[in-house]
Structure 1
Amino acid sequence: MFTIGDFASLGRVSVRMLRHYDSIGLLRPAAVDPHTGYRFYRADQLRRLNRVIALKELGLTLAQVQAIIDDAVDVAELRGMLRLRRAQLEAQVAADTARLAGIEARLRMIETEGRMTSQDVVLKEIPPVRVAELTGVAPSYQTRDIGPVIQPLYPQLFQRLAAADVAPSGPGLAYYQPADGDGEAVVVHAGVTVDADPARAADFAIVDLPAVPAAATIVHQGSMDEVEASMQVLAGWIEENGWRAAGHAREVYLEYCQDEPEKGVTELQIPVVRA
């Protein structure tokens, strides 16, 4: 099972949101430690979470969402509801575009449930890597919060690398860490592999990421707006094979297509240890 923090990261929602869903009975944790009160979730609960988010984005109240989900709305009905809402959103102001993209991504992920397989998950050792990076802070793990923070960091990073005469030696990568304090904020690390001496860093950082003895990995094809589906496959594989998440997940951009994100190829890496 996964801690509430790991489950929030995998589902791209906030911990606060999961606590609220627990309090109203919409999404209960699979287990609660009687001594610490810590919540734990199963990988298969991501399916219910996906439906909750999709229906909530339709503008339904949480009470309505619970009633619909408990009546087991099928994929075809849910697709029809989402498409109707899509037509309404397209007529609204440009600020709603991000929300529409989120609905589309959740819909595609729900439609692929049952057809995706964990056969493509590879357990492997990740060697240490030196990266040049810039960081930013996002309000939460939600895709619509991460995207606006991480996207401008890469152009800035490459401009600064060029000015410092530091050439990338490998692919770009990203990883995320909880910000200090008890809030939902996330530190976003946008980096690229380099061979440079850390002393050459000026207005960027050069850091050494340690080796990972064991990581569950999968190659995600397409836009990162739709990464939740691949994360769900990884979560299921980790739980089914007796592992648990044990560190910060990484995204390695094997093929990065800024103008055509649907052509992107990204390896997702989650450090694991035996449960």
Structure 2
Amino acid sequence: MDPGPRGELVGRIILAVVAYKLSLNGSENRVQQFLAELYNDDSSPESISDFSTEFINRTVTFTHFNAINYVPDKEDLERFYIRRCAFIMKRNHPGADICIPVRLTTGEYSIIIIQIKNIDTTSTRADDTYPASTKSMLNCNYVFGGSDLEDHQEPCLCLYWQLGYHYHFQETPFSASTRNQLESKNLHWATFGLTHFKIDDIVDILSDILTSYISPFDPERKVNNEKEGDIWNGGEIRIMHPLSYGKFKESNKKQKQKMVY
């Protein structure tokens, strides 16, 4: 898989670990408990005490994920919550990768919105869209454009994970002031690196997943065994993955020209 999907896979594993730990306490748990099981003590959102008590003391309940290919609406939040399901946004959906429904005391529902990046970097600014990717692009009006959640008025918890960062860093992302009243109700929190999460037992495994990549052009992959159905064809691979391998011909051609000269 490419870096992005590998990061999302690791994100799901982290959340699955949290869901298991929470299930030991009962089927429903407060958002505050969710954060306590998710982050190490020094990695929890710094301004959590100033965030909505209505949100932080309300409940999450999820045991699995469901991938969707549509933009959900308010009714879907209740349906997912009742089914104890967090939902995975479709591939390359703008702004968010995973959402977890939250039930409020009013009977309304809100959301924990998570954006996951996996950029192999030593810079916190390797994401070209940062900090917009953690603020204006991590709001309901951007993530759920076209549905009635676009004008969602309840507070949301918006988490940005840059898992491929080599070190340990966290911050409340800053952005220029905006007229969007919804943004002021949300809590935005950005963490960089894999060291923020309570995954000590599997951190090495998840680190390997983030960085592992098998190239179909490695010598051991170039297998031609018609009896076993293994036929390696570099041209077909490039056609199937033009964004990954589209420049192969051009670079290969330049290499040959250098050899001739």
TM-score normalized with structure 2 length? 0.26
Higher strand share: 1
> Which one scores higher on RCO, CA 8 angstroms, separation ≥ 6?
1
Q: Which has the larger radius of gyration?
A: 2
